[in-house]
């Protein structure tokens, strides 16, 4: 099990970014969440098998969202025991 936090910068709020990420997540065996940050960035946390998490993050990069992402910072983190599903947080 691996877990990663990703901070996306660019035009990532007000363009359906979180909704699209949640839709992409449905195609992968990952758990986690995505939320807007007050400074205009978007934070995502995802966990699962390393290959699934990496494929999910690549799926975001390969989607139409790529045009909105100027920069991303990926940080490994500890997995949360019992986390299920993928959610949009307010």
Query: Where do the structural domains in the chain lie, given as residue ranges?
Result: 2-78
In contact, 60 and 24? CB cutoff 8 Å = yes
pLDDT at 90: 86
36 among known catalytic residues: yes
Query: Known catalytic residue: 71?
Result: no
Per residue in 10-68, pLDDT tens?
Answer: 999 999 999 999 999 999 999 999 999 999 999 999 999 999 999 999 999 999 999 99
Please give the CATH topology (third level) of the domain spanning 2-78.
Alpha-Beta Plaits (3.30.70)
CA–CA gap between residue 44 and residue 21 (Å, rounded): 9
Query: How many CB atoms neighbour CB 51 within 10 A?
Result: 11
* Active-site option among 18, 66, 71, 89: 18
Residue 64, token pair as written in the block: 């139409």
Catalytic residue of the set 36, 41, 71, 89: 36
């Amino acid at each position: 099990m691996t877990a990663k936090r990703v901070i996306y910068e660019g035009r990532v709020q007000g363009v359906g970014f979180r909704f699209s990420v949640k839709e992409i997540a449905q195609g992968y065996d990952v758990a986690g969440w995505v939320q807007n940050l007050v400074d205009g960035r978007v934070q995502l946390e995802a966990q699962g098998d390393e290959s699934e998490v990496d494929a999910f993050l690549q799926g975001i990069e390969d989607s139409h969202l790529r045009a909105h992402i100027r920069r991303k910072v990926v940080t490994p983190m500890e997995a949360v025991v019992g986390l299920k599903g993928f959610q949009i947080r307010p």
